[in-house]
Amino acid sequence: MSFSHKSLIGLRELSSEEILFILDEAQAFRKLLERDIKKVPTLRWLTVLNMFYEPSTRTRISFELAEKRLSADVVNFSASTSSVQKGENLRDTVNNILAMKVDMVVIRHSSVGVPQFIEKKTGVPVINAGDGTNEHPTQALLDLYTIREKFGRFSGLKVVILGDIRHSRVARSNIWGLKKLGAKVVMCAPKTLLPPHPEVFGVDVTSDVEEALSGANVVNVLRLQLERQDAGYIPSLREYRMFWGLTAQRTKLLDPDHIVMHPGPMNRGVEIDPDVADARDAVILEQVTNGVAIRMAVIFTLAGEMRG
Ligand code: CP
């Protein structure tokens, strides 16, 4: 099958077949990452612009590595060291960089809808590296890849998304993807950290952490977004850990065949205890490795669409 999108904006708009297509493409790139020479000459003709208006470690570095391993040329833009600081707006910034003949844009921005805006205004393929609280599609694809690597399937799996779902684009992209692929998804958070209308996602919702974790195959623990807690969503970090944190004791409630995931960055001792994050059943660094392969697959697929 072909992938019928010019850009990757979110998993909400992809079919289950398109999601599986990307996961399958990523398998070959994942094998490549184990070789001595981790590079292929495939996309020597492509120039990719990585635009980060928000901080990032994993996503920014893995996009750059993915592009370099496909032999694309890479341009990195960071808002904090650019003429944005002199007042240049987003549209002018993008148009000026594209005037230097860039073929594809990867963007992270704090505002929902910026990736679509850039695609619409420029006509260039865009990959969403996280827009506000909306979507983070490549994170969800690497999470799905990691789950399939462990279990070989999605149907019949109970996947718990635990933590600050209200502010999480990772949660939203995971929910759209997991639902399409047939997993049973449970959202678990204190009521203040659930999205305003959780029922629109069509998944199970609970604030009972023990009930949520009981018999689960996957728990994906979300970062408590400390920079967005001014509104008093939680009484204190200590109480958050006590009532919502993933502790070793709580992991005993999971199915014996389970994995623990976290998209990073972690607040150790808040949403996840250090011994849980470093335990054998935690696949947090495998997620990061798989992220390079997933981003290679996404760039390769969209570049293929450009060439017809
Ligand atoms: N998971 C994730 O998006 O991490 P970064 O913010 O470090 O890119």
CATH code: domain 16-134+288-307 is: 3.40.50.1370
**Ligand 1 mean position to 111 CA, how many Å?**
16
Atom of ligand 1 at shortest distance to CA of 57?
7
> Two tokens at 73?
């040329």
- pLDDT at 240 (0 to 100): 93
Asked if the model's pLDDT at residue 230 lies above 90, the reply is no
Q: What is the predicted pLDDT for the residue at 188?
A: 98
Q: Is ligand 1 within 6 A of the CB of residue 304?
A: no
CA distances from residue 98 to 50, 75, 102 in whole angstroms, order as listed: 12, 11, 5
Strands of the 47-52 sheet, one edge to the other: 73-78, 47-52, 104-109, 126-131
Task: Supply the pLDDT for residue 1.
Answer: 62
pLDDT at 3: 87
Which atom of ligand 1 has the smallest separation from the CA of 60?
Answer: 8
The string of pLDDT tens digits covering residues 175-189 is 999 999 999 999 999
The verdict on the CB of residue 220 being under 6 Å from ligand 1 is: no
Average pLDDT over residues 188-199: 95
**138 C-beta closer than 6 A to ligand 1:** no
pLDDT band at 228 (very low <50, low <70, confident <90, very high): confident
pLDDT of residue 47: 98
pLDDT of residue 238: 93
The residue-averaged pLDDT of 250-279 equals 98
* Amino acid 308: pLDDT: 78
Q: Which residues contact 250 (CB under 8 A, 6 or more apart)?
A: 209, 210, 213
Fold assignment, 137-283: Rossmann fold (3.40.50)
* The pLDDT of residue 52: 97
- With DSSP H G I counted as helix, E B as strand and the rest as coil, what are the percentages for the chain, rounded to 5? 45, 15, 40
Best CA proximity match to 136, nearest among 165, 170, 175: 170
Under 8 Å between Cβ of 26 and 296: yes
* DSSP annotation string for 224-255: --GGG-TT--SS-HHHHHHHHSB-HHHHTTS-
* Atom number, ligand 1, closest to the C-alpha of residue 55: 6
Which of 50, 54, 56, 64 to probe ligand 1 with, by most ligand atoms within 8 A of CB? 56
| Each residue's pLDDT tens digit, 76-89 | 999 999 999 999 99
CA of 133 to the centre of ligand 1 (A): 13
- The finding on whether 177 has its CB within 6 A of some atom of ligand 1 is no
Q: For the segment 119-148, what is each residue's pLDDT rounded down to a tens digit?
A: 999 999 999 999 999 999 999 999 999 999
Nearest ligand 1 atom to alpha carbon 54: 6
Q: Write out the two tokens for 90.
A: 């987003």
pTM over 0.85: yes
Q: What is the mean pLDDT of residues 11-26?
A: 97
Instruction: Give me the sheet containing 184-188, strands edge to edge.
Output: 204-206, 184-188, 158-162, 218-221, 259-261
The pLDDT tens digits of the residues spanning 154-169 come to 999 999 999 999 999 9
- pLDDT, average across residues 8-37: 97
Same fold, 16-134+288-307 and 137-283: yes
Among protein residues, the one with the nearest Cα to ligand 1's atom 6 is 56
Mean pLDDT confidence for 36-57: 97
What's the gap between Cα 180 and its chain centre? 16
> What are the residue boundaries of the structural domains of the chain, listed by start?
16-134+288-307, 137-283
Can you read off the two tokens belonging to residue 201? 């996602």
Torsion of CA 264, 266, 270, 275, to 10 degrees: 110
**What residue owns the CA closest to ligand 1's atom 4?**
58
CB 68 within 8 A of CB 39: yes
Q: What is the mean pLDDT of the chain?
A: 96
* Percent of the chain topping pLDDT 70: 99
